């Protein structure tokens, strides 16, 4: 679309005609030069057609949800008093959104869509009040007032303990779409539109500008109907927008090379730089899980100048030889990151560091936005792990969830060099018995039996740190020697190559699982790492629950695994970019 060669312009011309563009609009699309302007205009033409549309039954359920929750007034767009506020973050004061409406002398009916409903409710209660339940703000016009409806908190209650069923997930999707329709159709929209939902709302609200004005170079080629953008407006453009964190992680080696100068556009102020790293002395699984958490954390926070530098793996508890450590480093492509060189970089302890899963604890990362990494660029902040940020931000609706998942998917597809070549479905099982978080053997027996029942020809490999009773497992299961005698690199190879990984509550399992995000992983429920449940392809099953023996559950997993295997055999790796799939 942005290619201005003759054949590309002709294709753009045909595309615009098919969307019902007028002759002058086709001319505008063909003559625009800037890539952003071209895509803005193309999106406006597409939005005007009403494409995409919802399936009829989804449209019906969204309408029913809107009526039940009294959202129709904002979805009609006809009442100028009906305003939508989109607040996806928690650092911009709520009043700043309201001040954007302070010139309109009326009582605004405000729908607030937010991930932080409790904080917004508190902010509303702190506003000055008037009669009849109206609120106000400090403004030159005393005639400005507000009435509020705060959007629902769509996180499923107790999702972390009880696996949400399909009906609950569908209901959450319907609620999310209904709220998106409020943002897209409200008479006025005020918000930080730099998220996927925000950009989609702006896309739906965009319209082509008057053609003669655009051709004569007067103003932008598109307008967004009564839309006020807070924050960086450039990040709200285009529904395809790649976040700064993901862009830095995928495409810009300078962002992760500590020996190169910061590269910024002319006229912009470069961000500071906070270097972080991970160093531990526990088992190899613990070290890998810790380092992967810091790599993903740095990628998610790259826009604030956070960068990961690598501290080599230590021999630790397993007593691995140097060549074995080197093989693991190569497999996870850890050498792609700048090395922590004590001769040129000063090491400082990164603290506080709360226990894994303790998201209420105080963390070094808590004020990373206000800190903006105004730190000494030669100082590396070192801790055992980054679990305080990582496991608290892969929880559903967490602010940096998408950035972390993007980083993990990049590692899963491009990071390690181990690939399987078995034509059969391969299932790797890790049974950890000497760890305090062990799951009962009967759980693994049930999972193996369920998968084997659905896919009888599957090859099943079992790794364990202790001898186990083999007679209770289906015939044909391959039991490997214990982890130490097999070799940790071979164990990791089996876990990563497998089409399905049945994981223990173990760092070794988690490290392998995090490096294959997207392909199916089945594990028990680990209270300290509940966020794993929200990663694409990761299924947590409670021991003794109905899922443990549900063949439909295993059939769905096998179908998903075979689809990934088929794509891999065709040389088509897939990154579910920006997509969060909950299981």
Which CATH code of 2.70.98, 1.10.3470, 2.60.40, 3.40.50 fits the domain covering 73-236?
A: 3.40.50
CATH code for the part of the protein at 426-569: 3.40.50.2000
CA distance 174 to 157: 16
Non-local CB neighbours of 110 within 8 Å, separated by 6+ positions: 83, 84, 85, 98, 101, 146, 147, 148, 149
Query: pLDDT, tens digit, for every residue of 498-536?
Result: 999 999 999 999 999 998 888 899 999 888 888 888 888
CA distance 262 to 283: 35
Q: How many C-alpha atoms does 68 have within 13 Å on its Cβ side?
A: 11
- In the structure encoding, which two tokens stand for residue 577, read together? 């970019």
Q: Binning pLDDT at 50, 70 and 90, where does residue 436 land?
A: low
CB 385 within 8 A of CB 224: no
Q: In the prediction, which pLDDT does 414 show? A: 46
Q: In the prediction, which pLDDT does 244 show? A: 34
What is the strand order of the sheet 188-191 is part of?
145-150, 107-114, 82-87, 188-191, 227-229
Q: Binning pLDDT at 50, 70 and 90, where does residue 257 land?
A: very low
SS (H, E, C) 42-104: HHHHHHHCCCCCCCHHHHHHHHHHHHHCCCHHHHHCCCCCEEEEEECCCCCCHHHHHHCCCCC
Please give the helix or strand (H or E) that residue 180 lies within, else none: helix 166-185
The least confident of 72-76, 370-374, 400-404, 408-412 is 370-374
What mean pLDDT do residues 280-288 have? 85
Tell the burial category of 370 from Cβ atoms under 10 Å away from its Cβ (0-12, 13-18, 19+).
exposed
Domains 73-236 and 426-569 share a fold: yes
What mean pLDDT do residues 259-280 have? 55
What mean pLDDT do residues 50-64 have? 78
Domain boundaries, the chain: 73-236, 277-415, 426-569
Q: In the prediction, which pLDDT does 486 show? A: 64
**Percent of the chain residues past pLDDT 70, beyond the cut:** 76
14 φ/ψ sector (left φ>0, alpha ψ -120 to 50, else beta) = alpha
């Amino acid at each position: 679309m942005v290619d201005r060669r003759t054949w590309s312009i002709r294709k753009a011309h045909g595309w615009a005609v098919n969307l019902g563009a007028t002759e002058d609009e086709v001319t505008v699309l063909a003559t625009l030069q800037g890539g952003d302007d071209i895509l803005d205009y193309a999106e406006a033409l597409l939005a005007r057609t009403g494409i995409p549309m919802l399936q009829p039954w989804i449209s019906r359920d969204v309408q029913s949800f809107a009526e039940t929750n009294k959202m129709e007034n904002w979805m009609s767009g006809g009442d100028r008093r009906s305003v939508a506020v989109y607040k996806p973050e928690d650092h911009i004061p709520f009043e700043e959104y309201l001040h954007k409406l302070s010139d309109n002398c009326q009582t605004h009916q405000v729908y607030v869509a937010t991930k932080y409903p409790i904080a917004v409710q508190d902010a509303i209660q702190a506003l000055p009040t008037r009669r009849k339940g109206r609120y106000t703000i400090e403004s030159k016009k005393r005639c400005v007032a507000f009435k509020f409806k705060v959007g629902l908190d769509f996180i499923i209650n107790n999702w972390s303990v009880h696996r949400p069923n399909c009906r609950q997930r569908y209901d959450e999707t319907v609620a999310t779409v209904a709220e998106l329709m409020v943002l897209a159709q409200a008479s006025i929209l005020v918000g930080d539109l730099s998220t996927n939902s925000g950009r989609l709302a702006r896309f739906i609200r965009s319209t082509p500008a008057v053609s003669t004005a655009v051709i004569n170079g007067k103003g932008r080629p598109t307008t967004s109907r009564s839309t006020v953008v807070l924050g960086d407006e450039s990040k709200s453009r285009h529904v395809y927008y790649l976040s700064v964190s993901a862009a830095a992680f995928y495409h810009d080696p300078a962002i992760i090379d500590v020996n190169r100068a910061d590269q910024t556009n002319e006229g912009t102020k470069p961000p500071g730089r906070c270097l972080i790293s991970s160093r531990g002395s526990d088992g190899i699984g613990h070290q890998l899980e810790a380092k992967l958490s810091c790599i993903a954390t740095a990628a998610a926070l790259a826009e604030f100048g956070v960068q990961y530098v690598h501290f080599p793996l230590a021999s630790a508890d397993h007593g691995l030889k140097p060549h074995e450590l080197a093989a693991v480093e190569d497999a996870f492509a850890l050498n792609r990151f700048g090395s922590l060189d004590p001769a040129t970089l000063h090491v400082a302890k990164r603290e506080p560091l709360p226990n894994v899963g303790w998201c209420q604890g105080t963390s070094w990362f808590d004020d990373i936005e206000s800190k903006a990494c105004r730190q000494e660029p030669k100082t590396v902040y070192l801790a055992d792990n980054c679990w305080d940020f990582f496991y608290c931000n892969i929880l559903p609706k967490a602010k940096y969830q998408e950035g972390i998942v993007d980083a993990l998917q990049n590692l899963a597809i491009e990071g390690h060099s181990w690939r399987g070549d078995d034509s059969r479905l391969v299932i790797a099982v890790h049974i950890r018995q000497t760890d305090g978080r062990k799951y009962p053997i009967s759980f693994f027996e049930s999972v193996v039996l369920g998968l084997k029942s659905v896919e009888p020809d599957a090859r099943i490999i079992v790794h364990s740190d202790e001898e186990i009773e083999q007679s209770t497992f289906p015939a044909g299961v391959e039991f490997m020697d214990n982890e130490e005698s097999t070799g940790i690199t071979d164990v990791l190879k089996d876990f990563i190559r497998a089409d399905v990984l049945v994981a223990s509550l173990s760092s070794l399992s988690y490290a392998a699982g995090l490096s294959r995000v997207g392909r199916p992983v089945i594990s028990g429920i680990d209270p300290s790492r509940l966020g794993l449940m929200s990663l694409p392809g990761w299924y947590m099953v409670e021991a003794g629950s109905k899922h443990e023996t549900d063949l439909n559950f295993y059939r769905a997993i096998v179908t998903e695994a075979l689809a990934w295997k088929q794509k891999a055999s065709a040389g088509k790796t897939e990154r579910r970019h920006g997509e969060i799939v909950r299981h």
